Amino acid sequence: MNSKYEIVIGLEVHVQLTTASKIFCGCSTRFGASPNSQTCPVCLGLPGALPVLNRRAVEMAIMAGLATRCTIAERSVFARKNYFYPDLPKGYQISQFELPVCVHGRLEIETEGGGKKSVGITRIHMEEDAGKLLHPDSPAAGSVSYVDLNRACTPLLEVVSEPDMRSSDEAVAYLKKLHQIVVYLGVCDGNMEEGSFRCDANVSIRPWGQKEFGTRAEIKNVNSFRFVKQAIDYEVERQAELIEEGGKVVQETRLFDPNTGMTRSMRGKEEAHDYRYFPDPDLVPLVISPEWVEQVRLGLPELPEAKIERFVGEYALPRYDAEVLSADRALADYFEAAVAAGANPKAGSNWVMGEVTRALNAEGIDIERSPVSPQMLAGMLRRIDDGTISGKIAKTVFDEMWKSGKEADAIIEEKGLKQVTDTGAIEAVIDEILAANPGQVEEYRSGKEKVFGFFVGQVMKASKGKANPAAVNELLKKKLNM
Amino acid sequence: MSLTDLTIHELHERLVRREVSSVEATRAYLERIAAVDERINAFITVDAEGALRQAEAADRRLAAGKGGALTGIPLALKDIFVTEGVRTTCASKILQNFIPPYDGAAAARLKEAGAVLLGKLNMDEFAMGSSNENSAFGAVKNPWNLQCVPGGSSGGSAAAVAARQAAATLGTDTGGSIRQPAAHCGVVGLKPTYGRVSRYGVIAYASSLDQVGPMTRDVEDCALLLQAVAGHDPADSTSVDTPVPDYRAALGGDLKGVRVGLPREYFIEGLDSDVKEAVMGAITVCRELGAEIVEVSLPHTEYAVACYYLVATAEASSNLARYDGVRYGLRVDEGKGLLDMYMKSRAAGFGAEVKRRIMLGTYALSSGYYDAYYLKAQKVRTLIRRDFLEAFEKADVLLTPVAPTTAFGLGEKTADPLQMYLSDIFTIPVNLAGSCALSLPCGFTPSGLPVGLQLVGRPFGEETILRTAHAYEQATDWHRRVAPI
């Protein structure tokens, strides 16, 4: 990376909201339906149709604003962004321009060195998405394109950051943080492949110490964390080389190509649209009362940072555990449900981070679909605690629960996995083992205590793992030291 | 007396008494349309089949004793109202074959009330015009004089009422498009307060000014028809959720205690002498009916037309962007790419006046000009609204001419758009203020052309202007004159 220049990055992120219906009509927002099946006069832009704002979308905007410490505007205004494109049925997009719903927020990110940094959020505004153009590949179709308006009028938030990031890593950290928050809030499904969370990056460089920003390029279409890093790194190199060669960076929109890892010019400043924004006369100004904001605030879910602190305090978890569990709201909820059902917190954490996560990954499913419920897990952990099964047998029980969906108790009963705590029975096994291995007994008694482990193993093996390890230890010691 | 000469309330009485059926009345109107519309050109589409089907249904409802004020009454709609399954053109080539898949609020409410919809009425293309000469379907002729324009943009709606081609009609008014043609055709027309009637399913011209209103033979019909379409509609965010009064119950009595304000700025030089004389006569009648006549001032009147042509055209430039040939409407595609298709479709689809206003509006919103034009116009609009609110502290109703002249000759002003724009000088300020206003006949010129009187009310003051108009109407007989067609 070129060290002569300071890198300046600002991000614009489009967050698709998870409302059941579109932002200005009642059509479903479900992804993947057959083309134009989720449309009506409003989202088709038919003559005479009028938009009506979805209240739930506003609530989600307020949630996102509160979670990023924005000021929620008491009065914001929807504006029309005018341009022609076949995926834009009205010839304008309803967005917000001069008066957005949220302003002046910030997001804390962790920097490479482990330090913290606050990235400013200029504004969050609400808008409708456009439709999609389908370009058939077959030569028979010629130059025909098709328009699918299912996505048209889907609610989006555009989150605009200040140009506060100074490296591609910071940009990625900011994006990941924002992603985590909107998914946590439940306002976005976070699916970057389906375009639910998309990013444009504004990148410029300047010599260290220079106050003014350099000329920026806006990079479109960077739709994964990895691509954001790639695109910014490429763009910084390109701009630095340009300047080194005595050239000038021009203000333009560039497109990132994930196949080559490069950006290429899409349109220059001169070709930039004049969007002729003006307040949409079909919609009245959006008025959000302080009471409404408070009501939404009360309903906000706990955010990751607060959750980590609480897990450390309330459940005495190591910070590492708290962070891993809190990274995903569903995982944290699962853990807490298991604890609520009686699981020991640390044991619960170990199992959720360990076996449960492993099993989920192996099958590639989300924790919401786990065949072992938190209650089932807690039921099993109780049986470890009360000595019914050992930790080792528990793994067998867990696998069986996963496969069959049966409760731990039923599996223990069915498969006879109950731990043997009957000292008489264990003593009998020990006596047999000691009798069969006189050489090792001699070794132990002459001071080679390492052999002890061998005896434990033999006893456990003979009991098929069901002997209570503590009892085995104690009895073995007693007998060997006799 | 022919069936087609009856007002809504007169026909209603005969329908409920079963002296006449809705089918008979509908047939009478269809025959009347067939007889005169070749000369008037008020209709773009006549839906005889649909109308007769609705009439039969209305007759069953009436026979069951369940008919309301509009059940079985043959009406017609300006072709700006979206009607399911019935072609809706907005008098534009770009929508000449457009058949909407849904009913707008107006059509839905009228159908619910059991009205019979005869068809769709001619208008200026996209409601842009003051003479109904800007129609892709030809000019409408004034039933009082076929050499004259009927006014616009709801020229077809006004002419159809005057020529007895419908019992009453609905029009829309953005800068005078109901009141001015009502005046020129000698009928009653009401522009309600902005937000009183749903705009859902009204093809938008200028969204912050457009309003739906009745065009009728008399004031009582006007109250009845307003009643049917007024009220909150959740599908229109700008429709206001305020209770709808009983408008017909507001009619009756004299004008004692009513303060009638005369805005100084509306009685100026350049006002046609016939118009002036008729309006002065109306003032005398009001005084005789007990009204207190006061002078008021609307100081920003002179800026209204300029302000209107910035706000309305800015909104129109955006509202008309959807006619791009992609999803519906006219498409001219010569296989030379998207931009070419856009340009050719719009060039072929829109008429000259529509193009002029799209260009004006696009300019007014452009980067670098927005503040000087659109924003400035919005500020002027606020001043004009304030003028009215202040005037209404001194007066309950404002009385003015509707237009500076009576109906002018066909082709007389088409070459001079600015001259045409001034036809709406007395009506435009009311739209900018968002208030309500009514136009009713107050006299005739020696050559037999009707003169209109405008009564302007406070926001949501429709009852007051209806009552005032009704008192005046009862004291005069202008509304009984029938166009010689």
What is the secondary structure of A35-47 as a DSSP string? TTSS--TTTTT-T
DSSP B64-99: TT---TTTT-EEEEETTB-BTTB---TT-GGGTT--
CA distance B386 to B403: 22
CB B111, CB B117: distance < 8 Å: yes
Instruction: Name the residue among B315, B322, B326 with its Cβ closest to that of A147.
Output: B326
CA distance A419 to A468: 6
Q: Residue B317: inside a domain, yes or no?
A: no
DSSP A251-286: -EEEEEETTTTEEEEEEESTT------EE-TTSPPE
How distant is the alpha carbon of residue A327 from its chain centre? 7
Is B177 an annotated catalytic residue? yes
CA of A45, closest CA in chain B: separation in Å? 7
What CATH number does residue B20 fall under? 3.90.1300.10
Among residues B78, B120, B141, B191, the one annotated as catalytic is B78
Which positions in chain B touch A41 (Cβ < 8 Å)?
100-102
Copy the structure tokens of residue B355: 């193009």
Q: Residue B296: inside a domain, yes or no?
A: no
Quickly tell me which residue has 């009065």 as its tokens: A75
Is B344 an annotated catalytic residue? no
For B280, what's the count of Cα atoms within 13 Å in the CB-facing half-sphere? 9
pLDDT of amino acid A105: 97
Copy the structure tokens of residue A104: 């002046």
Partner-chain contact B100 A91, CB within 8 Å: no
CA distances from A282 to A49, B117, B154 (A): 10, 27, 22
Task: Spell out the SS3 assignment of B450-473.
Answer: EEEEEEEECCCCHHHHHHHHHHHH
Copy the structure tokens of residue A398: 């867990």
pLDDT of amino acid A1: 47
Pair B152, B62 in one domain: yes
Phi, psi of B370, deg, nearest 5: -50, -50
CA distance A133 to A125: 25
Pair B63, B142 in one domain: yes
DSSP 8-class letter at B396: S
pLDDT of amino acid A429: 84
- Domain span at residue B355? 322-375
Pair B330, B438 in one domain: no
Phi, psi of B86, deg, nearest 5: -115, 125
Partner-chain contact A281 B202, CB within 8 Å: no
Instruction: Name the residue among B207, B328, B366 with its Cβ closest to that of A281.
Output: B207
CA distance B466 to B230: 14
Instruction: Name the residue among B206, B318, B370 with its Cβ closest to that of A80.
Output: B318
The count of structural domains within chain B is 2
CA distance A475 to A480: 9
Pair B402, B328 in one domain: no
CB B307, CB B208: distance < 8 Å: no
Pair B425, B467 in one domain: yes
CB B349, CB B321: distance < 8 Å: no
Pair B360, B403 in one domain: no
Q: Residue B269: inside a domain, yes or no?
A: no
Partner-chain contact B366 A91, CB within 8 Å: no
Which positions in chain A touch B320 (Cβ < 8 Å)?
91
Which positions in chain B touch A282 (Cβ < 8 Å)?
204, 207, 237-238
pLDDT of amino acid A432: 85
CB B412, CB B402: distance < 8 Å: no
CA of B125, closest CA in chain A: separation in Å? 14
Pair B423, B358 in one domain: no
Copy the structure tokens of residue B300: 């920003």
How distant is the alpha carbon of residue A282 from its chain centre? 37
CA of B451, closest CA in chain A: separation in Å? 33
Give the residue among A82, A91, A94, A90 at the shortest CA–CA distance from A44. A90
CA of A92, closest CA in chain B: separation in Å? 7
Instruction: Name the residue among B98, B322, B367 with its Cβ closest to that of A274.
Output: B367
Q: Residue B281: inside a domain, yes or no?
A: no
Is B366 an annotated catalytic residue? no
CA of A402, closest CA in chain B: separation in Å? 50
Judged by DSSP in three states, A127 sits in strand
Q: Residue B485: inside a domain, yes or no?
A: no
Please, what's the b/e burial string for A143-154 (b: 16 or more CB within 10 A of its CB; e: otherwise)?
A: eeeebbbbbbbb
Give the residue among A389, A482, A395, A470 at the shortest CA–CA distance from A426. A470
Q: Residue B412: inside a domain, yes or no?
A: yes
**Whole-complex ipTM:** 0.96
Copy the structure tokens of residue A121: 């959020």
CB B259, CB B294: distance < 8 Å: yes
CB-neighbour burial class of residue A111 (10 A; exposed 0-12, middle 13-18, buried 19+)? middle
Pair B341, B466 in one domain: no
DSSP 8-class letter at B425: T
Partner-chain contact B201 A48, CB within 8 Å: yes
> Considering just the CA atoms, what is the radius of gyration of chain A in Å?
30
Judged by DSSP in three states, A134 sits in strand
pLDDT tens for chain A, residues 1 to 482: 457 899 999 999 999 999 999 999 999 999 889 999 999 999 999 999 999 999 999 999 999 999 999 999 999 999 999 999 999 999 999 999 999 999 999 999 988 888 899 999 999 999 999 999 988 776 665 678 899 999 999 999 999 999 999 999 999 999 999 999 999 999 999 999 889 999 999 999 999 999 999 999 999 978 899 999 999 999 999 999 999 999 999 999 999 998 998 999 988 776 778 999 999 999 999 999 999 999 999 999 999 989 999 999 999 999 999 999 998 889 999 999 999 999 999 999 999 999 999 999 998 898 989 999 999 999 999 888 887 888 888 888 899 899 998 888 888 888 777 776 677 778 888 888 888 888 888 888 888 878 888 888 888 888 777 777 777 888 888 888 77
Q: How many CB pairs under 8 A join A and B?
A: 98
DSSP B234-289: TT-TTS---PPP-TGGG--S--TT-EEEEEGGGS-TTS-HHHHHHHHHHHHHHHHT
Phi, psi of A122, deg, nearest 5: -65, -50
Pair B229, B326 in one domain: no
CA distance B206 to B358: 11
Output the CA angle A209-A210-A212, nearest 5 degrees.
145
CA distance A363 to A457: 33
Structural domains in chain A, CATH included, are 5-292 (no CATH), 302-415 (no CATH), 423-480 (1.10.10.410)
CA distances from A405 to A204, A365, A398, A402 (A): 55, 16, 10, 6
pLDDT tens for chain B, residues 1 to 485: 799 999 999 999 999 999 999 999 999 999 999 999 999 999 999 999 999 999 999 999 999 999 999 999 999 999 999 999 999 999 999 999 999 999 999 999 999 999 999 999 999 999 999 999 999 999 999 999 999 999 999 999 999 999 999 999 999 999 999 999 999 999 999 999 999 999 999 999 999 999 999 999 999 999 999 999 999 999 999 999 999 999 999 999 999 999 999 999 999 877 999 999 999 999 999 999 999 999 999 999 999 999 999 999 999 999 999 999 999 999 999 989 899 999 999 999 999 999 999 999 999 999 999 999 999 999 999 999 999 999 999 999 999 999 999 999 999 998 888 888 888 999 999 999 999 999 999 999 999 999 999 999 999 999 999 999 999 999 999 999 999 98
Q: Residue B433: inside a domain, yes or no?
A: yes
CB B374, CB B314: distance < 8 Å: yes
Pair B109, B159 in one domain: yes
Q: Residue B471: inside a domain, yes or no?
A: yes
Partner-chain contact A50 B104, CB within 8 Å: no
For all residues of chain B together, what is the average pLDDT?
97
Copy the structure tokens of residue B315: 């909104």
How distant is the alpha carbon of residue A190 from its chain centre? 7
For B210, what's the count of Cα atoms within 13 Å in the CB-facing half-sphere? 31
Instruction: Name the residue among B100, B237, B362 with its Cβ closest to that of A50.
Output: B237
Which positions in chain A touch B170 (Cβ < 8 Å)?
none
Pair B406, B368 in one domain: no
Pair B340, B404 in one domain: no
